[in-house]
A and B are shown apart, each in its own frame.
Chain A
Amino acid sequence: MKWNKFLTVVSACALSVSLIAGCGNGGSSGASGANEGGKDAAGSGGDGSKQVANGELNVAVFQGGYGREYWDQVIEAFMKDHPGTKINLTASPKIAELVRPKIVAGNPPDLLYIAGGDNIPLLDGLIKDKALLDLMDIFNENDGSGPLKDKILPGVLESRAMSPYGDGKIYLAPFNFGVLGLWYNKTLFDEKGFQPPKTWDELFAMNAAAKENGRALFTYQGIYPGYLEEVIVPAIYDLGGQKALDQFFNYDPEFWKSDVFKQVWGNILKFANEDNGLMKGTVALNHTQAQTAFMQGKAMFIPNGTWFEDEMKDAPRESGFQFGFLGIPSFSGGSVKAQSNIEQIVIPAKAKNPELASEFLKYIYSDESIKLNAEKSKAVMAVKDAADLAKPYISESTYNVYKAVDNGMELVNGTFQTVAKGSKYNPKDDVYKAISSLVNKQMTLEEYGQKMYDMYTEVSKELKQAQ
Chain B
Amino acid sequence: MAVCLVPGLAMFMLFKLYPTIQVFYKSFYLWTGIGDKPKFIGFKNFVDMFRDDAFLLSLRNTGFLMVIVPVFTLLIALVNASILTRTKLKERGLYRTLFFFPSILSFVVIAILWSFIYHPTLGFLNSGLELTGLGQYAMPWLGDSRTVLWALAVTMIWQAAGYYMVIYMAGIDGISPDLYEAASIDGATPMKQFIHITIPMLWEIIRITIIFSINGVLSISFVIVTIMTAGGPDRHSEVVMTYLYQQAFTNSNFGYAMAIGVFVFAFSVLLSLISNKLTERGSY
A residues near B, CB below 8 A?
Answer: 9, 12-13, 16-17, 19-20, 100, 103-104, 106, 108, 121-122, 124-126, 128-129, 131, 222-225, 280-286, 289, 293, 298, 348, 350, 421-426, 429-430, 433-437, 440, 442-443
Contacts and interface: CB of A to CB of B under 8 A. Distances in A.
Contacts of B48: 424
Given A422-B255, A440-B233, A281 B34 contact: no
Given A12-B4, A128-B36, 6 more contacts: A9-B1, A284-B144, A421-B30, A422-B30, A422-B255, A436-B232
Contacts of A422: 30, 41, 253, 255-256
Contacts, number: 143
B34 A225 contact: no
Interface in B218-241: 229-235
Interface stretch (B70-78, B117-125, B159-167, B171-179): B117-125
Contacts of B256: 422, 424
Interface string B139-175: 0111111000000000000000000000000000000
Given A129-B35, A281-B140, A424 B145 contact: no
B127 to A, nearest CB: 12
A131 B35 contact: yes
Contact of A121 (B6, B55, B250): B250
B113 to A, nearest CB: 13
B34 to A, nearest CB: 4
Contacts of B247: 424
B233 A437 contact: yes
Contacts of B252: 121, 124-125, 128-129, 421
Interface string B1-34: 1011011101100000000000000000010111
7 smallest CB-CB distances across A and B, nearest first, come from: A281-B120, A284-B143, A283-B143, A436-B233, A16-B7, A125-B252, A284-B140
Contacts of A426: 246, 250-251
Interface residues of B, number: 46
B7 A126 contact: no
B142 A100 contact: no
Nearest to B121: A281
Contacts of B229: 223
Contacts of B246: 426, 429
Given A285-B120, A422-B30, A16 B8 contact: yes
Contacts of A434: 234
Given A13-B4, A284-B142, A426-B250, A223 B34 contact: no
Contacts of A348: 35
B120 A421 contact: no
A216 B90 CA distance: 52
Contact of B35 (A121, A126, A223, A280): A126
B163 to A, nearest CB: 27
25 contacts: A16-B4, A104-B33, A104-B35, A121-B251, A124-B250, A125-B34, A126-B34, A128-B32, A129-B34, A131-B34, A223-B142, A224-B230, A281-B119, A283-B233, A284-B142, A285-B119, A421-B252, A424-B247, A424-B253, A425-B251, A433-B235, A435-B234, A436-B143, A440-B143, A443-B234
Interface of B: 1, 3-4, 6-8, 10-11, 30, 32-36, 41, 48, 52, 54-55, 115, 118-121, 140-145, 229-235, 246-247, 249-253, 255-256
A223 B234 contact: no
B10 A20 contact: yes
A437 B145 contact: yes
A293 B32 contact: no
A13 B1 CA distance: 9
Given A125-B252, A280-B121, A433-B234, A440 B34 contact: no
B35 A19 contact: no
A19 B30 CA distance: 36
Given A103-B34, A421-B30, A223 B4 contact: no
